[in-house]
Structure 1
Amino acid sequence: MVADDKGLLAIDESIGTCNRRFAALGIPETADRRRAWRELIVTTPGLGQSISGAILCDETIRQRTGGEASFVSVLDDAGILPGIKVDAGTIELAGHPGEKITEGLDGLQARLATYAEMGARFAKWRGVIAVDADRPSRGCVEANAQALARYATICQQVGLVPVVEPEVLMEGSHDLARCAEVTEAVLRAFFRHADEQGVMLEAMILKPNMVLPGLDCANQEDADTIANATVNCLLHTVPASVPGIAFLSGGQTGELASARLNAMNLRFRGRMPWQLAFSFARAIQQPALQIWAGQDDRVQAAQAALAHRAMCNHAARRGAYDAAMELTPAAASAR
């Protein structure tokens, strides 16, 4: 999943989230348009050159192309591992106003077994941590860390690789140091619970946030500073037995996410015990979605933009991404 400088593509947005993104672009919020959009993604020519796995949602893993091929089989034929999001979303954490806990552990083993029969090779679970002067509480951190560890153990019991996603959100005015403090606490809590639950660290992928200042913070650090803060945080917390760390994009633009990943792999090459990869959603999808806008005659142009963003992140894994790559015809058409 992190071999050959590839990464993961997350196309696991819920129906509600996908519909909101469609609404912003005037795309009909229908099952047919969602299927058409996801078919555009999974049939993108050459996608397997940059992408090793695709995270699907329950709706997507059951969908088929217009030619009646299952999305799972299309991905398999492209050399891309099919994965599945298995959490049931977040609710308010009782006793902790403004904080969330992820649901979905009840019946998880049976659901995972069903997805494995459908062709899934790995799974994903997201925990959400909000940041301000008073949050997160220890109760929120511990509850989400324990849920992530339980999920990972259950995945491994049924033979699926767990992708563990503890996301410290970008929303807020917190600075880089505060994000680093919270991210370190969240990762320490997860690996403590992972040890208690018997998670095989060598058979999982970590999908964390990069260490970033909040979106409303006045001081937006440069890529090198973010690279230093992120990798140092990971060196303090992530055991060497974890094979790969695939960052979420968390609302970053495609160009920023690529530049920051590139800085990490360039500055810390040969000094990290794990591979640094990507597991982006919007940072790869958004330019293509804007081009497509629900119009079938724009599929090829949208696919070119999607392949371009995937290729940029493939280069960032080698420390070979450069802003000049954004001047290619595919990149220009995405603007």
Structure 2
Amino acid sequence: MTAELVDTARLLVASGKGLLAMDESNSTCDRRFAEVGIPQTAEFRQRYRTLLITTPELGEAISGAILSDETIRQSAPDGRPFVSLLADRGMVPGIKVDRGTHALALHPGETVTEGLDVLGDRLREYATLGARFAKWRAVLAIGDGLPSLAAIAVNAHALARYAALCQACGIVPIVEPEVLMTGNHSSARSGAATETVLRAVFAALVEQEVALEAMILKPNMVLAGSDWPSEATAEMVATETLSCLLRTVPAVVAGVAFLSGGQSGPRAAERLDAINRRRSLHSSRAPWPLVFSFARAIQHPGLQIWQGDDANVAAAQAAVRHRALCSHAAIHGRYDDAMEGEAS
């Protein structure tokens, strides 16, 4: 079984493509619909997800798609299950399995991700529905005394238990410990917090005997807080991010798929491009594929164009395809601002 998991993990990250995260909860999806005046119903969520999955040539840039519990059970209007549509287009179906963050007792401002109860049963069902990989997100905030050692420890343990359960059920785990970019902190503070978190996560994964070669890490880039008065260049982000990963991530890990963490599509692509350009230098060579697992950074322009109107589907899909191809170019160090001008 481990050999099959390794093959799937490599297919997801070593193919020169990235992942499309379309695993928003219904409440999050509805909130984004409300922002652009789209009715917040299951029908419109299904129509939107059909738009994403059937985007022409999406498989050129996307190796797999992370679905929600609702989405993995849905079908296109012609009756074809979304899982089958993805597979037919050369994309691997995945599933988000955590049940969101909840306040961490005795630690104001911090959370723990829940969902381990009967997770094994849920994973086995998702496998029968066609899921070949899964995702679990932990959230760590930077602030006065944050993240605390308690928050780091409890979230690292949950991530490791989730990963172990995934592999026991024949599913590749994506491990996502996100250190938030919200706040007024420097990139140095972000790097230190990210390094501490990643060390704890990998210690917990090893303790739970997770096969690191059959898992994917989904980390944040090392960025200053959104309220920090100055912004680092893409080259500085690349240097600090790679330095952090090289100190913490074992070489055997199948790959690294960065989250966008609230960055715009162009900014996320620019920084991913700089990271991959930097890794090609001998002094900073990294042993893992460095790809993307973006949600809003790919979806947002298309959603704004669509606005729930079928007449806008083709234009919305063109925007989604463009953002996916820009992110794909960044994996190969070929993204350029000119790509944005060509699109417009």
Q: Would the TM-score normalized by the shorter structure come out above 0.5?
A: yes
Q: Secondary structure at the residue paired with 1:264?
A: helix
Q: Provide the alpha-carbon RMSD of the alignment.
A: 0.7
Equivalent residue for 1:110? 121
Indicate yes or no: 2:335 matched with 1:321.
Answer: yes
Indicate yes or no: 2:22 matched with 1:11.
Answer: yes
The CA distance in 2 between the partners of 1:69 and 1:174, in whole Å, is 47
The CA distance in 1 between the partners of 2:110 and 2:254, in whole Å, is 30
Equivalent residue for 1:180? 191
The CA distance in 2 between the partners of 1:53 and 1:292, in whole Å, is 23
The CA distance in 2 between the partners of 1:37 and 1:86, in whole Å, is 21
Structure 2 regions of 5+ residues with no counterpart?
1-11
Q: Secondary structure at the residue paired with 2:138?
A: strand
Shift of 1:5: 1.2
Equivalent residue for 2:271? 260
**Residue pairs, 1:156-305, within 5 angstroms:** 156-269=167-280, 271-305=285-319
Runs of 4+ in 1 over 3 A off after TM superposition: none
Q: Secondary structure at the residue paired with 1:5?
A: coil
Residues 91-115 of structure 1: CA distance to partner in whole angstroms, max 9, x if unpaired?
A: 1011111100000001000000000
**Residue pairs, 1:72-151, within 5 angstroms:** 72-151=83-162
The CA distance in 1 between the partners of 2:149 and 2:286, in whole Å, is 29
The CA distance in 2 between the partners of 1:283 and 1:171, in whole Å, is 17
The CA distance in 2 between the partners of 1:49 and 1:308, in whole Å, is 11
Shift of 1:4: 2.6
The CA distance in 2 between the partners of 1:319 and 1:233, in whole Å, is 20
Shift of 1:3: 2.4
One-letter identity of the residue aligned with 1:161: V
The CA distance in 2 between the partners of 1:264 and 1:202, in whole Å, is 22
The CA distance in 1 between the partners of 2:86 and 2:14, in whole Å, is 17
One-letter identity of the residue aligned with 2:245: L
The CA distance in 2 between the partners of 1:28 and 1:211, in whole Å, is 36
Structure 1 regions of 5+ residues with no counterpart?
none
Shift of 1:256: 0.3
The CA distance in 1 between the partners of 2:220 and 2:268, in whole Å, is 11
One-letter identity of the residue aligned with 2:331: R
The CA distance in 1 between the partners of 2:187 and 2:144, in whole Å, is 13
Q: Secondary structure at the residue paired with 2:15?
A: helix
The CA distance in 1 between the partners of 2:218 and 2:48, in whole Å, is 24
One-letter identity of the residue aligned with 2:314: Q
Shift of 1:267: 1.5
One-letter identity of the residue aligned with 1:283: A
The CA distance in 2 between the partners of 1:163 and 1:238, in whole Å, is 14
The CA distance in 2 between the partners of 1:300 and 1:121, in whole Å, is 29
Identity %: 59
